[in-house]
């Protein structure tokens, strides 16, 4: 039902591994976002891309590295993560960089760092 597709849905990785999360939106939107959702915290905005340019980085540790090769695709590269990074990572898109528009979320990647 969603126009935003995330892969993989589940990921278990060791602290020394390198992995990437992928997000693809089929809605023709110009803005894409990465959010982190932990059990006891609200949805935390990590990165915002507008027309393939990063416009916001919410003090995210450098072990998270985003990439936006075009307006339809967004990646989150992960390396040397910590167990506390285990969470649900949600990708979202919106029609325009202005923030009055609704956000469409992907189904998320459930990440477990062991």
Partner 1 sequence: GQQVMQIPQYQHVQEGEDFTTYCNSSTTLSNIQWYKQRPGGHPVFLIQLVKSGEVKKQKRLTFQFGEAKKNSSLHITATQTTDVGTYFCATGGNTPLVFGKGTRLSVIA
Residues that bind partner 1 (CB under 8 A): 2, 33, 41-43, 45, 48, 56, 90, 99-100, 102-108
CA–CA gap between residue 85 and residue 53 (Å, rounded): 25
CA–CA gap between residue 99 and residue 114 (Å, rounded): 36
3-class DSSP state for residue 85?
A: helix
Which residue, 3 or 61, is less far from partner 1 as judged by CB? 3
Which residue, 48 or 87, is less far from partner 1 as judged by CB? 48
Burial class (CB in 10 A: 0-12, 13-18, 19+), 34: buried
Q: Which residues contact 1 (CB under 8 A, 6 or more apart)?
A: none
Which residue, 17 or 86, is less far from partner 1 as judged by CB? 86
């Amino acid at each position: 039902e969603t126009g935003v597709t995330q892969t993989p849905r589940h990921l278990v990785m060791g602290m020394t591994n390198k992995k990437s999360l992928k997000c693809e939106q089929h809605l023709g939107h110009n803005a894409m976002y990465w959010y982190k959702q932990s059990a006891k915290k609200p949805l935390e905005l990590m990165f915002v891309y507008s027309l393939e340019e990063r416009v916001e980085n919410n003090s995210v540790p450098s072990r998270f590295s985003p990439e936006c090769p075009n307006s339809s695709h967004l990646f989150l590269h992960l390396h040397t993560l910590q167990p506390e990074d285990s969470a649900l990572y949600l990708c979202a898109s919106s029609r325009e960089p202005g923030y009055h528009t609704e956000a469409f979320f992907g189904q998320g990647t459930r990440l477990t760092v062991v």
